[in-house]
Amino acid sequence: MSPRDRQQRSSKGHQDFCIKNIKQADFGRREIEIAEQEMPALMALRKRSGGEKPLVGAKVVGCTHITAQTAVLMETLSALGAQCRWAACNIYSTQNAVAAALAEGGFSVFAWKGESEDDFWWCIDRCVSLEAWQPNMILDDGGDLTHWIFKKYPNMFKMIKGIVEESVTGVHRLYQLSKAGRLCIPAMNVNDSITKQKFDNLYCCRESILDGLKRSTDVMFGGKQVVVCGYGEVGKGCSAALKAMGSVVNVTEVDPICALQACMDGFRLVKLNEVIRQVDLVITCTGNKNVVAREYLDRMKNGCIVCNMGHSNTEIDVVSLRTPELTWEKVRSQVDHVIWPDGKRIILLAEGRLLNLSCSTVPTFVLSITATTQALALIELYNAPEGRYKQDVYLLPKKMDEFVASLHLPTFDAHLTELTDEQGKYLGLSKTGPFKPNYYRY
> What pLDDT is stored for residue 285 in this prediction?
95
Q: 266 a known binding residue? A: no
> What pLDDT is stored for residue 200 in this prediction?
81
Collapse the DSSP code of 63 into the 3-class scheme (helix H, G, I; strand E, B; otherwise coil) and give the result.
strand
Which of the four pLDDT bands, split at 50, 70 and 90, describes residue 35?
A: very high
CB 408 within 8 A of CB 369: yes
> What pLDDT is stored for residue 307 in this prediction?
97
Q: In terms of pLDDT, which residue wins out, 313 or 280?
A: 280
Which of the four pLDDT bands, split at 50, 70 and 90, describes residue 88?
A: very high
Q: 234 a known binding residue? A: yes
Q: What percent of the chain has pLDDT over 70?
A: 100
> What pLDDT is stored for residue 396 in this prediction?
87
Show contacts of 385-393: CB within 8 Å, 24+ apart: 389/162, 389/186, 390/186, 391/178, 391/183, 391/184, 391/185, 391/186, 392/178, 392/183, 392/186, 392/187, 393/171, 393/174, 393/175, 393/178, 393/183, 393/187, 393/188, 393/189
Query: What single-letter amino acid sits at 79?
Result: A
CB within 8 Å of 331: residues ≥ 6 apart: 337, 347
Q: 155 a known binding residue? A: no
Report the distance separating Cα 309 and Cα 315, nearest Å.
9
Per-residue pLDDT, averaged over 417-428, amounts to 94
Q: 325 a known binding residue? A: no
Answer yes or no: is pLDDT of 48 > 90: no
Query: ∠371-355-168 over CA atoms, to 5°?
Result: 50
Q: What is the pLDDT of residues 4-28, one digit of tens each?
A: 998 899 999 999 999 999 999 999 9
- Among 236, 227, 171, CA closest to 203: 236
> What pLDDT is stored for residue 428 in this prediction?
93
Q: What is the pLDDT of residues 178-234, one digit of tens each?
A: 999 999 999 999 988 888 888 888 898 999 999 999 999 999 999 999 999 999 999
Computed over every residue of the chain, the mean pLDDT equals: 94
Report the distance separating Cα 4 and Cα 349, nearest Å.
27
CB within 8 Å of 442: residues ≥ 6 apart: 194, 198, 436
What is the helix (H) or strand (E) element at residue 338, kind and residue range? strand 335-339
Any idea of the CA torsion for 117, 108, 395, 203, to the nearest 10 degrees?
-70
Q: What is the pLDDT of residues 338-381, one digit of tens each?
A: 999 999 999 999 999 999 888 888 889 989 999 999 999 999 99
> What pLDDT is stored for residue 302 in this prediction?
97
Query: What single-letter amino acid sits at 306?
Result: V
Pairing mode, if any, of strands 268-269 and 248-252? parallel
Any idea of the CA torsion for 168, 169, 174, 175, to the nearest 10 degrees?
70
Report the helix count and the strand count for the chain, using DSSP H and E: 17, 15
Q: 237 a known binding residue? A: yes
Q: 196 a known binding residue? A: yes
The ranges assigned to domains in the chain are: 3-192+362-404, 204-358
Per-residue pLDDT, averaged over 46-72, amounts to 92
Angle, helix 364-383 to helix 68-79, in steps of 10 degrees: 30
Collapse the DSSP code of 400 into the 3-class scheme (helix H, G, I; strand E, B; otherwise coil) and give the result.
helix
Q: 364 a known binding residue? A: no
Give the length of the chain. 442
- Among 308, 169, 140, 313, CA closest to 235: 308
- Among 92, 41, 51, CA closest to 357: 92
Judge whether 3-192+362-404 and 204-358 match in fold.
Answer: yes
Q: pTM (2 decimals)?
A: 0.85
Which of the four pLDDT bands, split at 50, 70 and 90, describes residue 63?
A: very high
Q: 113 a known binding residue? A: no
Answer yes or no: is pLDDT of 266 > 80: yes
Which of the four pLDDT bands, split at 50, 70 and 90, describes residue 437?
A: confident
> What pLDDT is stored for residue 25 in this prediction?
97
Report the distance separating Cα 229 and Cα 213, nearest Å.
16
Architecture of the CATH domain 3-192+362-404 = 3-Layer(aba) Sandwich (3.40)
Q: What percent of the chain has pLDDT over 90?
A: 85
CB 309 within 8 A of CB 238: yes
CB 293 within 8 A of CB 320: yes
Collapse the DSSP code of 141 into the 3-class scheme (helix H, G, I; strand E, B; otherwise coil) and give the result.
coil
Answer yes or no: is pLDDT of 51 > 80: no
Collapse the DSSP code of 100 into the 3-class scheme (helix H, G, I; strand E, B; otherwise coil) and give the result.
helix
Per-residue pLDDT, averaged over 398-408, amounts to 92
> What pLDDT is stored for residue 287 in this prediction?
86
Q: 53 a known binding residue? A: no
Q: What is the pLDDT of residues 369-397, one digit of tens each?
A: 999 999 999 999 999 998 899 999 999 88
Pairing mode, if any, of strands 335-339 and 137-140? unpaired
Per-residue pLDDT, averaged over 160-188, amounts to 94
- Strand ranges inside 166-245, DSSP E: 187-189, 225-229
Report the distance separating Cα 200 and Cα 194, nearest Å.
10
CB 90 within 8 A of CB 358: yes
- Assigned fold of 204-358: Rossmann fold (3.40.50)
Per-residue pLDDT, averaged over 79-93, amounts to 95
Show contacts of 112-115: CB within 8 Å, 24+ apart: 112/3, 112/18, 112/19, 112/20, 113/20, 115/88, 115/91
